[in-house]
Amino acid sequence: MKNTPLWRALGRNTLLSILLFGGLLGLLWLAELVFPSLTLLKWHETAWCVGIPASVIGVAYILTIRDPHNFTGFFAGIVMSLLLGVQFLLQGQLDSTFLYFFVFVPFQMMSIYKWSRKKDDGGASFEPKFLDTPRFWLSVGLFVIITLGDYVLATYAFSKDGLTDNIAVKLFNGVLISSSFLANYWLIYRKTDAWIYWILYSVAGIGLFIMLGNVFSIVLFLFFLVINGSAGVAWIKMTKRENYGWLIGK
């Protein structure tokens, strides 16, 4: 089969992700043994248990799409999104549940369609590019609008507190939502900017879980930051100078 090497890469990356997470969970288990007061592994929580395979598959997804020609990673991305949707549903986070089930899964299906073609709709070679200047600023504007919109939604629909209550937590959560939305969307079109949003997503996750005091999730998002950062660097190196878009004023 023509795409066999691509599927093999997904298989290798899945095995690598399992090994990486096995090592991470092993280290956290040892930390619990050394410091009995720590509670890092929450096997008694259904949502947490669903989140572990979602994270394993998610890392395999990111490792695979480091190669901007390997569309098979998005099949792992669909499975990851479905599992995360279930996890957020169990945690009562309905905004994230909706996004993963009804936005991110369709985005990843569109990515499979787009990435499996050798040319874009204009007939040009479909390769990594930065956004042009107008779309860069449009993206920044959407980022701000979605972040603030989620802040208002969290205030009045979920936490039911005041606009000046829990500001940092709600802002970090809004950045998680907006950055993951834009990252998934721009990946469809192989825009290198997607990795900027994935890095913002990782940083916001670290900040959010520092605020919530969730040590496991802090470690997990630090792990994601390294993975997403390395993938972003790989894409930047593969982006031709003439495709730097807003970075050179185009």
- The Cα 104–Cα 95 span in angstroms is 12
- The Cα 43–Cα 48 span in angstroms is 7
Task: Give the residues of the chain that fall short of pLDDT 50.
Answer: none
The reported pLDDT for the residue numbered 56 is: 95
Contact 241, 71 (CB under 8 A): no
| Opening angle at CA 110, ends 109 and 111, nearest 5 | 90
Q: Which residue has the tokens 């972003």?
A: 232
Element (H, E) at 27: helix 4-34
DSSP 3-state of 195:
helix
- Whole-Å CA distances, 226 to 108, 162, 220: 22, 35, 10
The reported pLDDT for the residue numbered 94 is: 83
The reported pLDDT for the residue numbered 80 is: 96
Cβ atoms < 10 Å from Cβ of 244: 16
Lookup: tokens for 94:
């309905």
The reported pLDDT for the residue numbered 93 is: 82
The reported pLDDT for the residue numbered 139 is: 98
The distance of Cα 181 from the centroid of its chain, to the nearest Å, equals 9
DSSP 3-state of 37:
coil
The reported pLDDT for the residue numbered 36 is: 87
Q: For the chain, how many residues are written?
A: 250
The reported pLDDT for the residue numbered 85 is: 94
- The Cα 209–Cα 203 span in angstroms is 10
- The Cα 202–Cα 197 span in angstroms is 9
| Opening angle at CA 202, ends 197 and 203, nearest 5 | 95
The reported pLDDT for the residue numbered 91 is: 87
> What is the torsional sign of CA 118, 120, 125, 131?
negative
Residue among 205, 196, 200, 207 at smallest CA distance from 231: 196
Lookup: tokens for 171:
């802002």
